[in-house]
């Protein structure tokens, strides 16, 4: 059933579209300009500066689309990003900046010549926060891209989007681009998201809407202070097919240690969609840090892979900052690891992967 031109509620896999890995070439990155000071509770003043650095860094290697947020926030974004090339600011309102979770999951057709997207239902991590604007942003992004495609003579960019009835967030899903998806039961099976959905029904929907073949339920891990019900992008990430970096605690005395060790044990026992065992590389978290008496969920797994670079969050603890950056540089020698201080940004309970969404490049 067609909702509008370029949008459908049908199956992405039946239409020959599928989810590709983050490390494949990007056409652009989408972000939402931060403007909700309540997200950072007294730490907001530096957030626009950090976001500007992230956007300008990304704009050196690919296009960046910015949802401006409120009218005042859009003016602020234009001020901070004045003179930046490769950056387009859209007057699209949002509740918050976590576009990884409320934005579309972009797909490519099997021949890699057409862009698609899956739009999940978004309810702010189980109804935790206001989200009426974020819940519609995914459809607005798809509409913008579809309109842009109609203006092109070749028409290749016109986007087909697929609407899912599953409540989910992009940060709760991770792929190797070869048919494997990692997620967590605590997120997708939460009663506040998908009440009455079974694991089997969720797996079927993920396969139908993303073209993946195997779902790995990476359970056991958790970070104190996290409000996402254990998003996978804070816990374990694919670096390439068969290779996963996984968060481990700085100390066995850390309250996160036992859960992260259990998660690693589960990962070691898993195989991907191709039948390969996973090679697990530990990525040590920094020591526990409290802001205003509350633990923040710091994890180096919240990096973002862009064209030619990896944007890596650091947290002001030199030993683990340097160790994580060195591991990532060794694992991805074809890219330059760019470290950006996220020690204030993380007070919003997310980092740079949470604040970005990649749009893959179509093949000419």
Side-chain half-sphere of 353: how many Cα atoms within 13 Å? Answer: 27
State which residues of the chain have pLDDT below 50. 1-6, 149-155
Full domain range(s) for residue 281: 2-360
Tell me the C-alpha distance between 172 and 187, whole Å.
7
Give pTM, 2 decimals: 0.95
Give the catalytic positions in this structure: 354
* Tens digits of residue pLDDT in 263-273: 999 999 999 99
- The whole-number pLDDT of residue 6 equals 47
The conformational region for residue 69 under phi > 0 = left, psi -120 to 50 = alpha, else beta, is: left
Q: Which residues pair with 121 in a beta bridge?
A: 167
- The whole-number pLDDT of residue 148 equals 56
**How many domains are contained in the chain?**
1
- The whole-number pLDDT of residue 194 equals 97
Give the CATH number for residue 255.
3.75.10.10
């Amino acid at each position: 059933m067609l909702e509008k031109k370029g949008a459908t509620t049908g199956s992405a896999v039946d239409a020959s579209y599928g989810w590709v890995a983050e490390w494949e070439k990007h056409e652009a990155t989408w972000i939402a300009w931060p403007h909700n000071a309540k997200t950072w509770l007294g730490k907001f003043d530096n957030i626009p500066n950090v976001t500007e650095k992230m956007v300008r860094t990304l704009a050196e290697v690919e296009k960046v689309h910015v949802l401006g947020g409120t009218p005042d926030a859009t003016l602020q974004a234009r001020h901070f990003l004045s003179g930046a090339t490769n950056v387009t600011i859209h007057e699209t309102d949002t509740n918050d900046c976590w576009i990884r979770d409320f934005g579309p999951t972009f797909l490519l057709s099997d021949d890699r010549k057409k862009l698609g997207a899956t739009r999940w239902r978004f309810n702010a991590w189980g109804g935790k926060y206001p989200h009426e604007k974020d819940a519609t942003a995914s459809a607005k992004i798809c509409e913008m891209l579809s309109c842009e495609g109609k203006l092109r003579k070749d028409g290749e960019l016109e986007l087909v989007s697929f609407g899912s009835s599953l409540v989910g967030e992009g940060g709760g899903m991770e792929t190797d681009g070869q048919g494997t998806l990692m997620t967590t039961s605590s997120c997708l099976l939460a009663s506040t998201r998908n009440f009455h959905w079974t694991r089997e029904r969720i797996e079927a929907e993920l396969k139908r809407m993303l073209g993946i073949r195997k779902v790995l339920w990476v359970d056991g891990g958790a970070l104190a202070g996290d409000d996402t019900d254990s998003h996978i992008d804070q816990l374990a990430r694919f670096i390439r097919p068969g290779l996963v970096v996984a968060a481990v605690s700085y100390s066995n005395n850390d309250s996160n240690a036992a859960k992260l060790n259990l998660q690693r044990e589960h990962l070691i026992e898993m195989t991907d969609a191709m039948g390969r065992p996973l090679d697990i590389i530990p990525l040590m978290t920094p020591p526990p840090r409290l802001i205003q008496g509350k633990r923040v969920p710091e994890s180096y797994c919240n990096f973002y892979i862009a064209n030619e670079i990896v944007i890596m969050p650091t947290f002001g603890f030199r030993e683990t900052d340097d160790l994580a950056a060195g591991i990532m540089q060794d694992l991805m020698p074809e890219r330059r690891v760019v470290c950006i201080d996220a020690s204030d940004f993380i007070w919003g309970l997310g980092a740079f992967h949470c604040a970005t969404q990649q749009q893959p490049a179509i093949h000419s």
